[in-house]
Amino acid sequence: MNPTLELAIAATGATLLDGEAAPPTLRVNTDTRTIEPGDTFVALRGERFDGHDFTAEAVRRGAALLIVDRLEARAGGTAALLVHNTKAAYMGLAAAARGLFNGRIVGITGSAGKTTTKVFLAQLLAAAFGDRVLSAPENENNEVGVSKLMLRASNDEHDVLVVEMGARHFGDVAALVEVARPHLGILTNIGEAHLEIMGSRERLEETKWALFSGGARAVLNATDAASRRRAPTLARPPHWFAAGRTSLDDAHLEPLTAVVGDRIVHRRASGETERYVDVRLPGTHNHENLAAALAAALELGLSLDQVLPAIPSLTLPHGRYDRLAVGSGAQLIYDAYNANAGAMMAALDAFAGESASRRIAVLASMAELGEESAALHERVGAHAAGRVDVLLVSGEHAAELARGAQRGGLAAERIVEIGTNAQAARWLREHMRPDDVILLKGSRKYKLEEIVEELRT
């Protein structure tokens, strides 16, 4: 949505400079490489750049208006909005754009499964809305990414926005809700992600629960303890989702949408509906993600019969259980986009169902878990013990992973501590056999894709 100049000034508290040539509406851009004549360039700061250093380039490429918080960054008398902070101004513009959007908005947060649930939901909604569904690519889920999505939305082109909301710091989700103001909120789960930065489980829980601070109807995980505990505080009962047979045990939970093998069950006060469909997704965690997406689609007014045909062809986002062929006939499963304890154990559960001569897991350490790091790594190691034949461990907490695996019953000779990805690739080249299946899982900081590159060259 393109806010008017007047609305933009009100939303950002800006001072207009050299405004005679300012455009009446703002087509906002933050990347000089894609500037088109008439665009408004917002000079954001990132970890490795400062947009204020590129204002002259933006004007050279045709920018008609600059949004800056440094007066000296103005370029050649071009119209400018001088603001206190450009990121805050960008979020203000996005919130103003959100106010102009007439469609429905779904917000998604949680410790694991956000991106997958977003991708599944967008694919399901396409059954009814076609290409009038807009969601951010990859995981553009912070203040900049969510704001960019709001500014990209168009009443002429979109009916539904699917907004992923990440959180690394206390209060992050509340800030994103102020921008996006979702009608519907999916909370996938509350786990251990970013505990070190959040400070405590309580602060992590409070941050995630802020998804509903603007009144969004809640879609909650029936197996998530924090969601079960907090659900009575909601203004309206949630729509529950779950996966697996035990998901149907709590008869008082309704409405509930569950994926039980190849069976889709939707329970409500008036009765229960059951459909069979070919679910080709690995792992209970992905069945949960599908159930969450189905529940949201139903809340948006779609019927099961509308969305079920899309389920057999659902695709996972990149980096989530990607299956790749490597030398000697072995298969490699790359699921190392990121990791926390819940996600690690979910991937191991899915991996345990693989048919193979041997299941070899390469587990790198997890990050940002604070004082619980050692205990959580031991827990993951113990979980791996009953699900793999050989375990390679690496990273800062390799010793704890190994110790947990031994405690879980995996023999010491089946556990290999490695120092680098190159060493892991070398070990695999020397030891993997035809019909082995190899799982790569760990924090993004350990760049396990390097093992994929080594094995595929």
Position 342 scores a pLDDT of 87
pLDDT digits (tens, 9 = 90+) for 202-253: 888 899 999 999 999 999 999 999 999 999 999 999 999 999 865 566 767 8
Secondary structure, 3-state, 137-182: CCCCCCHHHHHHHHHHCCCCCCCEEEEECCCCCCCHHHHHHHHHCC
Q: What is the dihedral of CA 214, 216, 220, 224, to 10 degrees?
A: 0
Position 197 scores a pLDDT of 63
pLDDT digits (tens, 9 = 90+) for 326-366: 877 789 999 987 788 888 999 999 999 998 889 999 999 99
Position 326 scores a pLDDT of 83
Give the tokens for residue 381.
């190691």
N- to C-terminal Cα separation, the chain? 45
Burial of 245 from C-beta contacts in 10 A (0-12 / 13-18 / 19+): exposed
Please choose, from the candidates 65, 85, 99, the residue with its C-alpha nearest in 3D space to the C-alpha of residue 12.
Answer: 85
Order the strands of the 415-417 sheet from edge to edge.
322-325, 331-334, 436-441, 358-364, 390-394, 415-417
Q: Which domains does the chain have, with CATH numbers?
A: 5-86 (3.40.1390.10), 101-313 (3.40.1190.10), 322-456 (3.90.190.20)
Position 246 scores a pLDDT of 58
Position 251 scores a pLDDT of 65
This prediction has a pTM of: 0.89
Q: What are the beta bridge partners of residue 109?
A: 187
User: What is the rounded radius of gyration, in angstroms, for the C-alpha atoms of the chain?
Assistant: 24
- Where residue 17 falls (left for φ over 0; alpha for ψ -120 to 50; beta otherwise) is beta
Q: Mind listing the pLDDT tens digit of every residue in the chain (457 residues)?
A: 999 999 999 999 999 999 898 999 999 999 999 999 999 999 999 888 999 999 999 999 999 999 999 999 988 789 999 999 999 999 999 999 999 999 999 999 998 899 999 999 999 999 999 999 999 887 789 999 999 999 999 999 999 999 999 988 888 999 999 999 999 999 999 876 666 666 678 888 899 999 999 999 999 999 999 999 999 999 999 999 999 865 566 767 889 999 999 999 999 988 889 999 999 999 899 999 999 999 999 999 999 999 999 999 999 998 889 998 887 778 999 998 778 888 899 999 999 999 888 999 999 999 878 888 899 999 999 999 999 999 999 999 999 999 999 999 999 999 999 999 999 999 999 999 889 999 999 998 899 999 999 988 7
Position 431 scores a pLDDT of 92
Euclidean distance between CA atoms 219 and 111, whole angstroms: 15
